[in-house]
Structure 1
Amino acid sequence: MVNDPIGDMLIQIKNAALAKKGSLELPYSKLKKALADVLLAEGYIVSAQKTGVDPKANLKIGVKYAEGQSVITDVKRISKPGLRWYVGKSDIPTVVGGMGIAILSTPLGLMTGKEAKKRGVGGELLCKIW
């Protein structure tokens, strides 16, 4: 049993990228799909689709490469099940001088730190990706 499904998802994507895999499948959840949609919109993955039917549905994610290298250099899980990390709209961090993204869970749904600042909302800082 996985205690941190978001952390597990991020590490699986990173490991698939380092192993030069084209895609990976992991158990489906609405939160994982929302996170994958943010990564897709920001250009860190090439696809994210639900396969199968509930309750055995999976999420198939296509890993993105540029010139033979993975677009994702590293991921860092910030808010964990044992220690939640919340930030206000003025405390949202920049990642690697603006070269990466922070992903937040806000009352308006999952979004990047840049979008959360623009909308004037804070939330739970899930992870940083660069």
Structure 2
Amino acid sequence: MDPVADMFSAIKNAIGRRMDYVDVSSSKLKESILDLLKKEGYIRDWERMEEGKKGTQYTLRIHLKYLDPKKERNAISELQKVSKPGRRIYTPKHRIPYVQRGFGIAILSTDAGLITDHDARKLGKGGEIIAYVW
């Protein structure tokens, strides 16, 4: 029902299995979230896999990031989806939460696009809280 939550579940399951990458279906929202995760250093990279079909549905390959060569410590400790289809969570600019006392990020959907909580505080914008990552 919720494609972003499905992507988060796929990432968490792949990290649990110590995989190098995971493939998920594409959407513009997912691509924006992956851009933020890459910029903040939670994933190594992501790419759009070209399909040979005439349809517009692509597959996104997410390259996961580990902090040691044995893949025992990963860059993502937790991914939490906050807003859900049945309950949207909005926050004004003066009540943007600090995730793990500032060590994590909150992903917000604002009129300026998807941004992190740090950028939202700088820009003075509130919006819908999509997820917490630490």
TM-score by length of 1: 0.94
The C-alpha deviation readout for 1:85-125, integer Å capped at 9, x for no partner, is 00111111001111111000111111101111101111100
The one-letter amino acid paired with 1:82 is: G
Task: Detail structure 1 runs of 4+ shifted over 3 Å in the superposition.
Answer: none
Q: Percent identity at matched positions?
A: 40
Check conservation: 1:18, 1:70, Cα contact below 8 A.
Answer: no
Match of 1:74 in 2: 78
- What is the DSSP-based 3-state SS (H/G/I as helix, E as strand, rest coil) of the residue aligned with 1:48? strand
* Cα drift, residue 63 of structure 1: 0.4
Gaps of 5+ in 1: none
CA distance in 1, matches of 2:46, 2:85: 25
TM-score by length of 2: 0.92
Q: How does 1:7-86 map to 2 (within 5 A)?
A: 7-53=5-51, 54-67=55-68, 68=71, 69-86=73-90
Q: CA RMSD in A?
A: 1.0
* Cα drift, residue 38 of structure 1: 0.3
Matched residues, number: 128
Larger Rg: 2
Does 2:111 correspond to 1:107? yes
* Cα drift, residue 61 of structure 1: 0.5
